[in-house]
Amino acid sequence: MQDANFTVKNNKTEEGNSVNGNLGKANRKVMRRSALKFGKKGLALALALMSLSVSTAFTASASPKEEELLVFSEEGAIISQEDQSTTLFSDDVLVGDTVSRSQQIVDYATQYIGRPYRYGGVSLLHGSDCSGFLMGIFGHFGIGLPHSSAEIGTLGTNVGSLANAIPGDVLAYAGHVGIYLGNGRMLFALNSRSGVTIESATYKPIKSIRRFV
Protein backbone atom coordinates (compact mmCIF):
# COMPACT_ATOMS: atom_id res chain seq x y z
CA MET A 1 0.00 0.00 0.00
CA GLN A 2 1.49 3.31 -1.06
CA ASP A 3 2.13 6.04 1.45
CA ALA A 4 -0.45 8.87 1.32
CA ASN A 5 2.23 11.52 0.93
CA PHE A 6 3.78 9.62 -1.97
CA THR A 7 0.37 9.35 -3.66
CA VAL A 8 -0.25 13.08 -3.41
CA LYS A 9 3.23 13.83 -4.63
CA ASN A 10 2.87 11.40 -7.53
CA ASN A 11 -0.54 12.83 -8.52
CA LYS A 12 0.78 16.36 -8.50
CA THR A 13 3.72 15.31 -10.62
CA GLU A 14 1.42 13.55 -13.09
CA GLU A 15 -0.80 16.65 -13.29
CA GLY A 16 2.17 18.75 -14.27
CA ASN A 17 2.97 20.48 -10.96
CA SER A 18 6.53 20.73 -9.67
CA VAL A 19 7.07 18.89 -6.39
CA ASN A 20 10.51 19.13 -4.74
CA GLY A 21 11.99 20.25 -8.03
CA ASN A 22 10.51 17.38 -10.18
CA LEU A 23 8.74 18.20 -13.44
CA GLY A 24 5.32 16.60 -14.14
CA LYS A 25 4.24 15.06 -17.46
CA ALA A 26 2.42 18.21 -18.53
CA ASN A 27 5.51 20.31 -17.91
CA ARG A 28 7.69 17.83 -19.79
CA LYS A 29 5.31 18.07 -22.77
CA VAL A 30 5.63 21.85 -22.68
CA MET A 31 9.40 21.49 -22.56
CA ARG A 32 9.35 19.18 -25.59
CA ARG A 33 7.18 21.64 -27.53
CA SER A 34 9.55 24.45 -26.50
CA ALA A 35 12.51 22.41 -27.70
CA LEU A 36 10.86 21.82 -31.10
CA LYS A 37 9.92 25.48 -31.45
CA PHE A 38 12.99 27.22 -30.04
CA GLY A 39 15.68 24.57 -30.21
CA LYS A 40 18.28 23.77 -27.57
CA LYS A 41 18.68 27.40 -26.44
CA GLY A 42 14.96 27.74 -25.78
CA LEU A 43 14.89 24.50 -23.79
CA ALA A 44 17.86 25.58 -21.66
CA LEU A 45 16.21 28.93 -20.94
CA ALA A 46 12.91 27.30 -19.96
CA LEU A 47 14.70 24.88 -17.64
CA ALA A 48 16.60 27.73 -15.98
CA LEU A 49 13.42 29.76 -15.39
CA MET A 50 11.58 26.74 -13.98
CA SER A 51 14.47 25.96 -11.61
CA LEU A 52 14.60 29.60 -10.46
CA SER A 53 10.87 29.59 -9.71
CA VAL A 54 11.12 26.43 -7.59
CA SER A 55 14.19 27.73 -5.73
CA THR A 56 12.53 31.10 -4.97
CA ALA A 57 9.37 29.45 -3.63
CA PHE A 58 11.39 27.15 -1.38
CA THR A 59 13.52 30.03 -0.03
CA ALA A 60 10.45 32.16 0.74
CA SER A 61 8.76 29.35 2.65
CA ALA A 62 11.95 28.51 4.56
CA SER A 63 12.74 32.09 5.66
CA PRO A 64 12.50 32.41 9.43
CA LYS A 65 9.96 34.85 10.82
CA GLU A 66 11.51 38.08 12.06
CA GLU A 67 11.94 38.01 15.83
CA GLU A 68 10.21 40.67 17.93
CA LEU A 69 12.06 42.18 20.88
CA LEU A 70 9.87 42.31 23.98
CA VAL A 71 10.56 45.08 26.49
CA PHE A 72 8.92 45.02 29.91
CA SER A 73 8.16 47.89 32.29
CA GLU A 74 9.05 47.77 35.98
CA GLU A 75 5.50 46.54 36.68
CA GLY A 76 5.96 43.62 34.27
CA ALA A 77 3.78 44.94 31.44
CA ILE A 78 4.95 44.62 27.84
CA ILE A 79 5.93 47.98 26.34
CA SER A 80 4.83 48.37 22.71
CA GLN A 81 7.49 49.02 20.08
CA GLU A 82 6.02 52.48 19.45
CA ASP A 83 6.57 53.47 23.09
CA GLN A 84 9.98 51.86 23.62
CA SER A 85 12.02 54.77 22.23
CA THR A 86 10.42 57.21 24.67
CA THR A 87 10.22 54.86 27.65
CA LEU A 88 13.56 53.07 27.87
CA PHE A 89 15.68 56.15 28.55
CA SER A 90 13.11 58.59 29.93
CA ASP A 91 14.87 58.74 33.31
CA ASP A 92 18.20 59.64 31.70
CA VAL A 93 16.59 62.36 29.60
CA LEU A 94 14.96 63.93 32.64
CA VAL A 95 18.22 63.93 34.56
CA GLY A 96 20.07 65.45 31.62
CA ASP A 97 17.49 68.23 31.28
CA THR A 98 17.76 69.08 34.99
CA VAL A 99 21.57 69.22 34.97
CA SER A 100 21.84 71.39 31.85
CA ARG A 101 18.97 73.78 32.50
CA SER A 102 21.06 76.11 34.67
CA GLN A 103 23.60 76.41 31.86
CA GLN A 104 20.78 77.10 29.41
CA ILE A 105 19.75 80.03 31.61
CA VAL A 106 23.31 81.39 31.53
CA ASP A 107 23.55 81.00 27.76
CA TYR A 108 20.22 82.74 27.26
CA ALA A 109 21.12 85.62 29.60
CA THR A 110 24.54 86.37 28.08
CA GLN A 111 23.03 87.19 24.69
CA TYR A 112 21.62 90.37 26.26
CA ILE A 113 25.00 91.77 27.32
CA GLY A 114 25.13 95.43 26.33
CA ARG A 115 21.35 95.95 26.40
CA PRO A 116 20.24 99.15 28.15
CA TYR A 117 19.40 99.61 31.80
CA ARG A 118 16.09 101.26 32.60
CA TYR A 119 14.83 101.87 36.11
CA GLY A 120 11.54 100.00 36.56
CA GLY A 121 11.93 98.40 33.12
CA VAL A 122 11.18 94.78 32.31
CA SER A 123 12.12 94.57 28.62
CA LEU A 124 15.17 92.47 27.81
CA LEU A 125 15.60 94.27 24.50
CA HIS A 126 14.66 97.86 25.29
CA GLY A 127 15.70 98.21 28.91
CA SER A 128 15.27 96.70 32.37
CA ASP A 129 16.52 97.12 35.90
CA CYS A 130 18.23 94.27 37.76
CA SER A 131 15.08 92.52 39.00
CA GLY A 132 13.26 93.17 35.70
CA PHE A 133 16.18 91.55 33.89
CA LEU A 134 15.92 88.41 36.04
CA MET A 135 12.15 88.36 35.53
CA GLY A 136 12.66 88.22 31.77
CA ILE A 137 15.44 85.62 31.84
CA PHE A 138 13.85 83.17 34.26
CA GLY A 139 10.37 83.83 32.85
CA HIS A 140 11.63 82.51 29.50
CA PHE A 141 12.09 79.13 31.25
CA GLY A 142 8.72 79.24 32.98
CA ILE A 143 10.03 80.45 36.35
CA GLY A 144 8.11 83.43 37.69
CA LEU A 145 10.02 85.99 39.78
CA PRO A 146 8.74 89.21 41.40
CA HIS A 147 9.88 92.66 40.30
CA SER A 148 11.79 93.20 43.52
CA SER A 149 15.45 92.45 44.20
CA ALA A 150 14.83 92.23 47.96
CA GLU A 151 12.06 89.66 47.50
CA ILE A 152 14.01 87.61 44.95
CA GLY A 153 16.80 87.34 47.53
CA THR A 154 14.47 85.40 49.84
CA LEU A 155 13.01 82.93 47.32
CA GLY A 156 14.26 79.64 45.88
CA THR A 157 16.76 77.43 47.69
CA ASN A 158 19.44 79.01 49.84
CA VAL A 159 22.80 77.84 48.47
CA GLY A 160 24.96 79.26 51.24
CA SER A 161 28.43 80.43 50.27
CA LEU A 162 29.84 81.32 46.85
CA ALA A 163 31.87 78.10 46.98
CA ASN A 164 28.60 76.17 46.61
CA ALA A 165 27.23 78.29 43.76
CA ILE A 166 26.83 76.97 40.23
CA PRO A 167 26.14 78.85 36.97
CA GLY A 168 22.51 79.94 36.89
CA ASP A 169 22.22 80.68 40.61
CA VAL A 170 21.03 84.14 41.65
CA LEU A 171 23.34 86.36 43.69
CA ALA A 172 21.51 88.85 45.89
CA TYR A 173 23.11 92.08 47.11
CA ALA A 174 21.79 95.15 48.88
CA GLY A 175 19.58 96.67 46.17
CA HIS A 176 20.79 94.38 43.36
CA VAL A 177 20.44 90.83 42.00
CA GLY A 178 22.38 89.08 39.26
CA ILE A 179 23.00 85.70 37.63
CA TYR A 180 26.11 83.77 38.56
CA LEU A 181 28.15 82.75 35.49
CA GLY A 182 30.80 80.69 37.26
CA ASN A 183 34.50 81.43 37.77
CA GLY A 184 33.69 84.28 40.16
CA ARG A 185 31.71 86.29 37.58
CA MET A 186 28.15 87.62 37.64
CA LEU A 187 25.79 89.10 35.01
CA PHE A 188 23.19 91.77 35.77
CA ALA A 189 21.62 95.05 34.70
CA LEU A 190 23.91 97.39 36.61
CA ASN A 191 23.06 101.01 35.80
CA SER A 192 22.23 103.42 32.97
CA ARG A 193 25.92 103.81 32.09
CA SER A 194 26.89 100.12 31.93
CA GLY A 195 23.57 98.47 31.04
CA VAL A 196 23.59 94.67 31.16
CA THR A 197 27.15 93.77 31.98
CA ILE A 198 29.49 91.26 33.66
CA GLU A 199 31.01 92.06 37.05
CA SER A 200 32.98 90.24 39.72
CA ALA A 201 30.65 88.24 41.93
CA THR A 202 32.24 89.92 44.94
CA TYR A 203 32.02 93.51 43.67
CA LYS A 204 29.77 94.04 46.72
CA PRO A 205 29.09 91.90 49.78
CA ILE A 206 26.75 89.02 48.88
CA LYS A 207 23.66 88.85 51.07
CA SER A 208 22.38 85.48 49.82
CA ILE A 209 22.66 83.03 46.94
CA ARG A 210 19.44 81.46 45.66
CA ARG A 211 18.83 78.51 43.34
CA PHE A 212 15.68 78.26 41.20
CA VAL A 213 16.46 75.23 38.96
Q: State percent of the chain over pLDDT 70.
A: 54
Reported as a single tens digit per residue, the pLDDT across 159-202 is: 999 999 999 999 999 999 999 999 999 999 999 999 999 999 99
Phi/psi-derived region of residue 39, left when phi > 0, alpha when psi is between -120 and 50, beta in every other case: left
pTM above 0.75, yes or no: no
Specify the CATH number for 96-211; select among 3.90.1720.10, 2.40.160.40, 2.40.50.140, 3.40.50.150.
3.90.1720.10
- Is the C-alpha dihedral spanning 142, 170, 208, 94 positive or negative? positive
**Which position has the higher pLDDT, 89 or 171?**
171
- State the burial class of residue 7 (Cβ atoms within 10 Å of its Cβ: 0-12, 13-18, 19+): exposed
pLDDT class of 128 with cuts at 50, 70, 90:
very high
Residue 127 has pLDDT above 80, yes or no: yes
pLDDT at 149: 98
Residue 147 has pLDDT above 80, yes or no: yes
Reported as a single tens digit per residue, the pLDDT across 30-78 is: 445 544 554 555 555 556 565 555 454 444 444 444 455 555 554 555 5
Q: How many whole angstroms separate alpha carbon 118 and alpha carbon 130?
A: 9
Q: Dihedrals φ, ψ of 128, to 5°?
A: -155, 160
- Vertex 102: Cα angle to 100 and 107 (nearest 5): 90
Instruction: Return residue ranges of the chain for CATH 3.90.1720.10.
Output: 96-211
pLDDT at 100: 83
